[in-house]
């Protein structure tokens, strides 16, 4: 049985109008990558007329600004399986975008209390190379706050 992990923003992340921002990210280490299982995110907007937010789940090499650099570190928790040290790092709310980001899934979601819960099919989960990972990035036409959670295993 594999061991599962999760991380969350642990606080609201402010999206500023028309400025792409990395909301949440996770990075594998030199021994393993990240097998990405799913994510959820939700907005606290209250204006029904606001234009939807573009959300992108991105593959990230973290060539610059890995979790904890120009971002706020968050905890990686064990959610099932053996309780072993996760070995991954995670963060939220980058002030300078990490590189290199390659979108692998994108969608629009209303900021008016919109939420999504997405799990990849079990035999089709994206995984990263060692010392790479994933980032959820948002681009909102209007100011709004977002919270998100990632679920993953060692890749």
Give the tens place of pLDDT for each residue, 4-43. 999 999 999 999 999 999 999 999 999 999 999 999 999 9
Our measurement of the distance from residue 147's CA atom to the centroid of its chain's CA atoms, rounded to an integer in Å, reads 10
Rounded CA separation 134/34 (Å): 8
Distance separating alpha carbons of residues 82 and 104, to the nearest angstrom: 30
Q: What is the pLDDT of residue 48?
A: 87
What is the predicted pLDDT for the residue at 121?
A: 95
Confidence (pLDDT) at 36: 97
Q: What is the pTM of this model?
A: 0.96
What domains lie within the chain, and their CATH numbers? 4-154 (2.60.120.380)
Low-confidence ranges of the chain (pLDDT < 50): none
Query: Among residues 50, 8, 49, 35, which one has the least CA distance to residue 146?
Result: 8
């Amino acid at each position: 049985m594999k061991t599962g992990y999760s991380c969350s923003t642990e606080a609201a992340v402010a999206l500023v109008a028309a400025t792409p921002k990395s909301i949440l990210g996770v990075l594998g280490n030199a021994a393993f990558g990240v097998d990405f299982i799913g994510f959820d995110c939700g907005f606290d907007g209250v204006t029904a007329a606001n234009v939807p937010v573009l959300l992108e789940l991105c593959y990230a090499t973290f060539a610059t600004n890995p979790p904890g650099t120009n971002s706020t570190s968050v905890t990686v928790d064990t959610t099932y399986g053996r309780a072993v040290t996760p070995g991954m790092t995670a963060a939220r709310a980058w002030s300078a975008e990490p590189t290199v980001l390659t979108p692998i899934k994108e969608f629009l979601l209303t900021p008016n209390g919109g939420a999504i819960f997405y799990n990849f099919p079990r035999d089709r989960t994206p995984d990263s190379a060692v010392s790479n990972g994933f980032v959820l990035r948002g681009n909102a036409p209007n100011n709004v706050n977002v919270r998100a959670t990632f679920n993953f295993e060692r890749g």
